[in-house]
Amino acid sequence: MIRKVANISFVFLLGASIFGCTSDKLEGPGKENQAPTVWLSAAPPEGTVSGYTLHLYWGGWDPDGEIAYYEYAITDNEGGVFDPADTTGSDKWFPVFRNESIFTFTADQLADSAGTDFTRMNPLDYIRSHSFFIRAVDDEGLATKIPAYRSFTSRTLSPIVDVLVPTSSGLNPAQVPPITTFRWVGRDYVGTLRETQEPDSVRWIIVSTELFDKSWNATIRYVRENPDAPQWSDWHYYRATGDTGKFWTSPALEYGPYVFAVQVKDEAGAVNPVFDEHRNVRRVMVSKRTSGPLLTVYNKFIGTMVTTSPNTPLTIIDLPAKVPMSFRWEADASNYGGVVSGYRYGWDIQDLNEDDQWDIDWTPFVTENNSAQSPPRTYEFDSHTFHIEVVDNSGFTSRTGVRVNVVPFTMTKNVLLIDDWEERSPGFDRTNGGLPSDTEHDEFWADMLADVDEFDPSVDMIEVQDDLPINALADYRTLIWVATAAYNSTTGSLINEIIQFVDPDVPAGGGKTNPNIVSLFMSAGGHVLLCGEQVMTASINRISFLPNNAAFPLIFRYELTSDQDGEYEDSDIGERGVGEESFPYQDCCLNVLDIAYIRSITAVRRTLVQSCAVNMVRSHSQKNDGLRYTIPMDDKYDFPQLELRDKVGGPGRWYDENVSGLNCDIYNPLYFADVEKGLELTGVCNDVAELIPARECFKPMYGNGCLNPSSLIYGAPVAFWTLTYEDRVPDAGGVAARSAVWGFHPVFFKPEQVKPALDIILFDEWQLLRRLPRE
């Protein structure tokens, strides 16, 4: 090479010397540019079947320069045969500036049309033969003379789709309104049945059977055999914003029969050709409806009312004057393909057909779940009726109403004692201190209330069994309710029906309803003392927990519907819980309820927070954990300590200290919120205190004086004040004061200690008048 260069230089110089220098440029024959070479380094083997998404690699070399970029071409080989025309022309080649890339190939040909049942939807094999070409282009624009290539067959499984709304009724058409929202869900199988994703696009069709002599079968056959029929919509992106690829709202249709069908396509172009009346085809009958959207209305005192009728009978409730009544509601028309358009409501409407008589005229919902609520309204007398109505986009309505009968509360009498304890015992003496007789129980309370002015046991002490109308409380300022409501008790107390939690998802019966009269009495400014063995367990609806029992401790805000697995998402903590309007949570300010001991359980394992296992480390012992005396905890009054009567807890008696203490409620126990003291946590956990934060409206009055001072529930509250209505002054006159709960029966304790404790509640807190001493 050196020699060759030298000779060339010699000839050049010789020529210059003979002919002279006529140009400042070097002139002579140039070397021809050589084309780069290229190869595929990773691709499917020639002639094989592969997936439709492939990661291909290639490389190249330019012998006299550098490779500037590569170009590729992809052919869709019709009939499995390569056509050279598919790579002829610059428009068939596309640049790529790397040595690898991921390609999605089409697989849009049904592999076996002969063996396909076009009436039963299943994922089907789709294929397409392809040839992939790659060539290099050097820095002078010269391309590879012979590209590298690979021919193979891409494969996929066709997607499937199911119509969700309207639901299938077999060969019977679904009844839909003129404006119907059809909903569906698609699933795309990526090569195998185990790997799925959403389809790429969707289209739909609706055809009247009137075009085919009202024949369902002929109409469906037309849809199946005409993929290019003019009634088909364009293809729409399945994953469009707002889920608009998952539903379609029809224009207003004429009444009559129609066939609706939907197809989905995957990213490889496969479209399932099957039209299955159980999956992606619906017979529909557009007709006038006799019902409207599903309307669900909730009120704290009534519960949940559900209707689809435009003329639902009224629900009736008796309320004290000036108790705020508000309602919240949701509406849903999706089950028949409708869309809820709006709502209206009003009080005391004389003519429901007159728009101007409604307090709020038709208003669109602004929440995702079509929910709204009315502001609180209070009344002092007479009867008043609330109506709520919703309408769908075809004009069909649902309506319900509530009549509120206002019960005047005179509150002229001091105290009413409700005896809700079924005494079948022969007495303390004959049961060894186990239970008092009915006479002993009545005499105890008559003595406790003897100093209240104008108290008459024959009038102001009543035994209840099946029912107690709110009118029975209307003449009293204060109420003492004595009940046996132990969770495992077989005797039924009325208090269970009164304060029991009402699941908002469970519809209440229509007609006259029996509200929580204790809550209503407190709302009206009345003062209440609830007392009895485990009295707050009466708020637990045991039917909700069947076939299991509730686990204790129980969190009122989240667990009253038996959901005690503790799988609370972080977003749930601090958010609205199902028990937020329950009597124990809202009226009594209770977060947690525990029981002193559970005979059949020695330990409770629970999960409080997602990914957080919580072990209750305390055992349950009748002897060590049961209540023997109360520990004063009040920060305002000097309450006396209460001790078991000698005939109840003395040596050899039923509650001998070597045998057992009383079983009682434990309220908001600190050990349950104090991770370091009472809980062993594993995993990444939130602080339990976030789930059950302290509430200022709860004030302990007495703590648990159990035999073992090392018990985790020693000193835990067994009686408390609730401050929820402490500022509510009765309309009939009186004072604002707190209500109280004792989670045990006072009759088991020494009367000479119980009476001064009750006097503090009656005369100091509630400010009742004392009976004047007889002269």
HEC readout, 42-75: ECCCCCCEEECEEEEEEEEECCCCCEEEEEEEEE
Token pair listed for 461: 């002490």
Question: Using an 8 Å Cβ cutoff, are 388 and 292 in contact?
Answer: no
What radius of gyration do the chain's Cα atoms show?
41
CB atoms < 10 A from the CB of 650, how many? Answer: 14
What are the tens digits of pLDDT across the range 501-522?
A: 877 766 666 677 888 999 999 9
Element (H, E) at 756: helix 751-759
- Does a cis peptide bond (omega within 30 degrees of 0) precede residue 547? yes
Nearest residue to 667 via CA among 713, 632, 728, 635 = 713
CA distance 41 to 35: 19
* Stronger pLDDT, 563 or 417, i.e. the higher one: 417
Average pLDDT rounded to a whole number, residues 49-53: 91
| Nearby residues of 93 by Cβ (< 8 Å), 6 or more positions away | 71, 72, 73, 87, 135
Tell me the C-alpha to C-alpha distance, in Å, between residue 756 and each of 269, 740, 761.
85, 15, 9
CA distance 754 to 639: 10
Least confident of 121-135, 193-207, 257-271, 505-519: 505-519
CB atoms < 10 A from the CB of 641, how many? Answer: 14
Return the SS3 of 395.
Answer: coil
When pLDDT is cut at 50, 70 and 90, the band that residue 656 belongs to is very high
CA distance 223 to 205: 8
Question: Would you mind telling me the total number of residues written for the chain in this entry?
Answer: 775
Residue 417 has pLDDT above 90, yes or no: yes
- Does a cis peptide bond (omega within 30 degrees of 0) precede residue 310? no
| Nearby residues of 647 by Cβ (< 8 Å), 6 or more positions away | 428, 429, 433, 653
Return the SS3 of 713.
Answer: coil
What are the tens digits of pLDDT across the range 315-355?
A: 999 999 888 999 999 999 988 889 999 999 999 999 999 99
pLDDT at 491 (0 to 100): 58
pLDDT at 567 (0 to 100): 53
Residue 27 has pLDDT above 60, yes or no: no
Percent share of the chain, pLDDT over 90: 62
CA 480 to chain centre: 38
Buried b (16+ CB within 10 A) or exposed e, 601-619: eeebebbbbbebbbebebe
CA distance 506 to 560: 13
Secondary structure string (H, E, C) spanning 540-584 = CCHHHHCCCCCCCCEEHHHHCCCCCCCCCCHHHCCCCCCCCCCHH
What are the tens digits of pLDDT across the range 732-761?
A: 888 999 999 999 999 999 999 999 999 999
CA distance 19 to 470: 131
* Stronger pLDDT, 67 or 609, i.e. the higher one: 67
What are the tens digits of pLDDT across the range 81-100?
A: 888 888 888 889 999 999 99
pLDDT at 29 (0 to 100): 57
Buried b (16+ CB within 10 A) or exposed e, 670-690: ebbbebeebbebeeebbebee
* Stronger pLDDT, 139 or 541, i.e. the higher one: 139
Question: Using an 8 Å Cβ cutoff, are 334 and 532 in contact?
Answer: no
